[in-house]
């Protein structure tokens, strides 16, 4: 790889680090006049309004991970609607003193939601095969490309099984409007959250998602029609990925698409015109430059063997999978007096380990590259202190020498990859390094996602984005795990990067902390009124 490419990516990363003496460049104020519309519309006439679920699927929470109980359902519109409702749909509306805003099943930094979703679906009754945009506000599909039956047949023949494609894209402007240059990072975290949310939801219909990891971003753009859409400058959608959704019983799925299918799509006309999101936009140039540098080329198909590992035994979860998915929220305040049981803490960490045939990591993104630095504040039967959790145990030998030499690396429990680095009260340190946010220190525990960095990006620049996706996926697991265990979580994108590295003793960018998270017993904000997700629609 040209060394300017990775140098420029490292430069972006350095320049968008928050530091004690200066935050990454951002507007520094809220330009309410130009607040971007969080919903994309294409203004089509032939919108397909999707049915809302009458009843939640009955799957148990653990069925999000273990697949043997999940009976594959047919790929009909009603089921696809449910799959979207429980992954990217609205989850509620909140209101306080005259202002009202929607929340979604998937979280997003600042609730700005830069991630958009597209489906490529087969013909279903009166619905033609095609590329459709999912609009979560009206829970509807907007037609973008009509796909002729013979092109769909090519796809079916290629995959040798029924299914459909789901694609994600990012509108950087939605995040940069508030967060400036650091926004590119947040957009990619959000992709990871959305990806995990989709992968979990697929299980409720007995389906599984496979990431088409050999496709180039150019190919994704051609299939979704972005290359022939008239975007407003700075409001364009950047292609992130395409996944194939199929029965979980169908194991051998290709990870790319042949040239004839891609070129068949690239000749098809697009419908609809993207809505304008803001009157005026600011050009945070380094974001678009980094996006170009990290565009994915076509690559050989990758198959990752994550291995099998039993789950850490935990108490029965009484809520169903769908109930937990629907009630996921970010905590805004924690009760620092309240602890969580050690068994719950270990079970949450354990779920973040990638396993074969287990959502969400069996979408097959990449080799696990993220381990967890933990600030344990209030976990029963566990000393307060700094801990390290190895999601990828093979990293131990590489990591130990780059940490402070006086850390004892004392394993907490035989067979469980959790190590004590230092006893003590780290509430203040956690708050300080998290841009002084109290949620990082008044919780039961918070953590930094420590990611193998320099060598991965030097080898393949596009992996810069995938590393953020992996951390977002871990965040989504933690959100659901927290709810399942009677706690609540919050993603933390705002932290002082190098202050975190100093805690561990890192001297360079071999590993970097990319995303933080906090879990504890929440304190609800009594000022907020909550409304049901789709109370604004006259539809069942
Ligand atoms: C990538 C990411 C970064 C976030 N960073 C912060 C943060 O630094 N501080 C905070 O209080 N909340 C943070 N959040 C939580 C969001 O503000 C929250 O997801 C959003 O307001 C939507 O609310 P909900 O999660 O309850 O649906 C973050 C969420 C994500 C996904």
pLDDT tens, residue by residue, 30-78: 999 999 999 999 998 899 999 999 999 999 999 999 999 999 999 999 9
Residue 536 CA, ligand 1 centroid: distance in Å: 24
Please tell me the residue having the least CA distance from ligand 1 atom 22. Answer: 111
Please tell me the residue having the least CA distance from ligand 1 atom 10. Answer: 492
Do 336 and 227 fall into the same domain?
A: no
Asked which of 260, 289, 318 is the last residue of a domain, the reply is: 289
Verify whether ligand 1 is closer than 6 Å to residue 488 (CB atom): no
Can you list the residues of the chain whose pLDDT is less than 50?
none
Residue 148 CA, ligand 1 centroid: distance in Å: 41
Do 124 and 237 fall into the same domain?
A: yes
Do 71 and 186 fall into the same domain?
A: yes
- Which residues is 372 bridged to in the sheet? 389, 449
373 part of a folded domain: yes
Domain count, the chain: 2
In the prediction, which pLDDT does 251 show? Answer: 81
Residue 153 CA, ligand 1 centroid: distance in Å: 41
In the prediction, which pLDDT does 252 show? Answer: 82
Do 476 and 425 fall into the same domain?
A: yes
16 part of a folded domain: no
Residue written as token pair 């393949």? 460
> Which atom of ligand 1 is nearest the CA belonging to 434?
8
> What burial class does residue 37 get, using C-beta atoms within 10 Å of its C-beta: 0-12 exposed, 13-18 middle, 19+ buried?
middle
Do 281 and 331 fall into the same domain?
A: no
104 part of a folded domain: yes
Q: Whole domain around residue 404: which residue ranges?
A: 327-520
The percent helix, strand, coil of the chain (3-state, each to 5) is 35, 20, 45
Verify whether ligand 1 is closer than 6 Å to residue 246 (CB atom): no
Verify whether ligand 1 is closer than 6 Å to residue 103 (CB atom): yes
Do 264 and 345 fall into the same domain?
A: no
> Which atom of ligand 1 is nearest the CA belonging to 106?
27
> Which atom of ligand 1 is nearest the CA belonging to 329?
26
- Which residues is 127 bridged to in the sheet? 124
Angle between helices 77-85 and 183-203 (to 10 degrees): 130
Verify whether ligand 1 is closer than 6 Å to residue 189 (CB atom): yes
Do 339 and 267 fall into the same domain?
A: no
259 part of a folded domain: yes
In the prediction, which pLDDT does 44 show? Answer: 87
525 part of a folded domain: no
Verify whether ligand 1 is closer than 6 Å to residue 108 (CB atom): yes
Residue 186 CA, ligand 1 centroid: distance in Å: 10
Verify whether ligand 1 is closer than 6 Å to residue 368 (CB atom): no
Is-above-0.95 flag for pTM? yes
Please tell me the residue having the least CA distance from ligand 1 atom 21. Answer: 111
Residue written as token pair 């928050």? 18
In the prediction, which pLDDT does 3 show? Answer: 82
Do 280 and 361 fall into the same domain?
A: no
- Residue 259, domain CATH: 3.40.109.10
Verify whether ligand 1 is closer than 6 Å to residue 350 (CB atom): no
Verify whether ligand 1 is closer than 6 Å to residue 471 (CB atom): no
Residue 491 CA, ligand 1 centroid: distance in Å: 5
93 part of a folded domain: yes
24 part of a folded domain: no
Q: Tell me if 42 sits within 8 A of 272, measured CB to CB.
A: yes
How long is the chain? 540
């Amino acid at each position: 790889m040209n060394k300017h490419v990775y140098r420029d990516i490292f430069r972006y990363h350095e320049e968008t680090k928050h530091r004690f003496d200066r935050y990454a460049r951002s507007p520094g104020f809220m330009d309410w006049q130009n607040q971007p519309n969080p919903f994309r519309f294409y203004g089509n006439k032939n919108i397909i309004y999707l049915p809302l679920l009458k009843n939640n699927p009955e799957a148990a929470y653990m069925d999000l991970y273990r697949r043997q109980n999940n009976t594959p359902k047919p790929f009909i519109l009603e089921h696809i609607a449910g799959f979207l409702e429980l992954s990217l749909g609205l989850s509620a509306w909140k209101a306080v003193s005259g202002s009202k805003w929607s929340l979604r099943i998937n979280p997003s930094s600042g609730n700005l939601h830069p991630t958009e979703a597209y489906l490529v679906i087969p013909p279903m009754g009166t619905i033609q095969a095609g590329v459709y945009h999912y609009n979560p506000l009206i829970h509807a599909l907007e037609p973008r490309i009509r796909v002729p039956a013979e092109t769909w047949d090519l796809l079916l023949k290629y995959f040798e099984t029924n299914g459909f494609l789901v694609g994600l894209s990012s509108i950087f402007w939605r995040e940069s409007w508030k967060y400036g240059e650091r926004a590119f990072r947040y957009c990619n975290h959000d992709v990871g959250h959305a990806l995990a949310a989709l992968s979990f939801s697929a299980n409720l219909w007995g389906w599984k998602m496979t990431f088409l990891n050999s496709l180039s971003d150019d190919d994704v753009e051609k299939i979704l029609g972005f290359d022939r859409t008239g975007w407003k400058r700075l409001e364009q959608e950047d292609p992130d990925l395409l996944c194939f959704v199929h029965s979980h019983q169908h194991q051998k799925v290709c990870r790319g698409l042949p040239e004839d299918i891609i070129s068949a799509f690239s000749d098809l006309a697009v419908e609809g015109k993207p809505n304008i999101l803001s009157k005026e936009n600011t050009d945070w140039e380094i974001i678009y430059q980094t996006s170009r540098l990290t565009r994915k080329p076509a690559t050989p198909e990758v198959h990752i063997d994550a291995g099998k590992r039993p789950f850490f035994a935990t108490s029965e979860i009484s809520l169903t999978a769908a109930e937990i998915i629907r009630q996921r929220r970010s905590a805004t305040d924690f009760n620092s007096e309240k602890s969580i049981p050690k068994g719950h803490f270990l079970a949450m960490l354990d779920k973040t380990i990638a396993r074969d045939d287990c959502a969400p990591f069996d979408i097959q993104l990449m080799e696990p590259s993220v381990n967890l630095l933990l600030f344990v504040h209030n976990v029963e039967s566990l000393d307060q202190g700094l801990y390290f959790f190895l999601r990828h145990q093979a990293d131990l030998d590489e990591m130990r020498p780059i940490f402070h030499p006086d850390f004892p690396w004392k394993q907490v429990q035989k067979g469980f990859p959790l190590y004590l680095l230092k006893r003590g009260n780290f509430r203040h340190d956690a708050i300080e390094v998290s841009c002084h946010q109290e949620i990082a220190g008044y919780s039961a525990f918070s953590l930094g996602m420590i990611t193998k960095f320099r060598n991965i990006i030097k080898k393949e620049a596009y992996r810069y984005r995938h590393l953020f996706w992996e951390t977002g996926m871990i965040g989504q697991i933690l959100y659901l795990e927290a709810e399942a265990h009677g706690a609540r979580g919050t993603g933390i994108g705002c932290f002082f990067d190098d202050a975190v590295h100093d805690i561990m003793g890192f001297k360079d960018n071999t590993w970097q902390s990319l995303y933080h998270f906090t879990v504890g017993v929440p304190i609800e904000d009594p000022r907020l009124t909550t409304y049901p997700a789709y109370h604004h629609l006259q539809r069942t």
